[in-house]
Amino acid sequence: MFLKLFKSIGPGGILLNIVIVSLLWIGSFIQECPSVFYYDENPMPLYQLLLNIAGKPLQGTAFSFFFVLIVSFLIINLNDSLFFIPERTYLPSFIYGFFSAFFVQYQKLNPVIPASLFLIYALKRIMDSYHKKGTAFSFFDASLLIGTGSLFYANLIWFGVIIVIGVIIIRGYNLKELILSVSGLAVPFIITAGILYLLSIKPVSVIESLYDNLFRKMPDYGFSSVEIIAMIIAGLSVVTGIFFLFQNIRGMKIKSREIFILLIWVFIISVILFLFSPCASAELIYIAAIPAVYFISYFLIYNKTKAIKEFVIAALFLSAASIQILRYF
């Protein structure tokens, strides 16, 4: 029942998606979360600009809600354009909406959500280089996108690794494209430093903000019992999806296989940052969820055991709903 509902396509699927995400976020509009995180104390330049534009906390929550909707539909668009899951479905978008509701304290203005927009476009540009003759400048575009996204959320800079991985997977050990992929990361910072200089602001402040947002020790996030249960369910769903993917990956088209390998690396980097970075915590859910929703969706679409598929999608949905309901108690 749940699976059939969330696999809906067409205008009905879009409307249902918006309704469900709205219901999962409505509590953040009713009940303001006063938490302040490290990226609010010393924000990156573009996130500082977003904070100034948003103004009040309620407006900031509205911005984040709007960005989540955009990301959820870009996730669909990425598959529609590359077709690595050979079925048109809104299922990945619904699952991303569930993940966005797992941590109540992050359902407010934060830099990770706008940064994830740039990551999706970067993944698209990396794959645009597939079978492209000559130098694939799309890797430079991808690095520009990740560098720009890092001006919102500094930890996105670490995902520059996937550009190098993308070059190796898709193009081989092409030194010119490897150099291009690295150089593009610095361009947004150089431009930002130049703008700050023209505004009589010390350009070195960009580097200081970057260092502070990458290496400053932040307090550990305190997970509630229901959040721990939700993350266990989500984690098991992702691991199951990845194992199922590996069982079928040899039968895929080469392009689909390379895309999934790239997505696995995005997920691995997210987990490594969560475990070892002093300045990364549960906010990474918005980035880790991007590859995760494809792994889970692939499993839910192609696994033949209906009962297991229904249990997985129902468990994810009810986890998100339970967290939102329990916020009032």
Residues in the chain: 329
> Looking up tokens 């009905």, which residue turns up?
12
Helix axes 306-326, 11-30, angle to 10 degrees: 30
**Token pair in block for residue 132:** 């492209």
Number of domains comprising the chain: 1
Q: Which of 26, 22, 99, 5 is nearest to 316 (CA)?
A: 99
Is the distance from CB of 231 to CB of 223 less than 8 angstroms? yes
| Domain extent for 232 | 2-326
- Given this model, what pLDDT does residue 324 score? 94
215-245 pLDDT, tens per residue?
887 777 788 899 999 999 999 999 999 999 9
Whole-number pLDDT of residue 220: 73
Are the beta carbons of 238 and 295 closer than 8 angstroms? yes
Q: What is residue 136's predicted lDDT score, i.e. its pLDDT?
A: 59
Residues of the chain predicted below pLDDT 70 = 1-2, 34-36, 131-136, 174
267-324 pLDDT tens trace: 999 999 999 998 888 999 999 999 999 999 999 999 999 999 999 999 999 999 999 9
The predicted structure's pLDDT at residue 92 = 95
Output the pLDDT for position 154: 95
What pLDDT score was predicted for residue 1?
Answer: 63
Q: Tell me, what's the pLDDT at 40?
A: 83
Spatial CA neighbour of 139 closest among 99, 168, 103, 109 = 168
**Hey, what are 167's tokens?**
């070059």
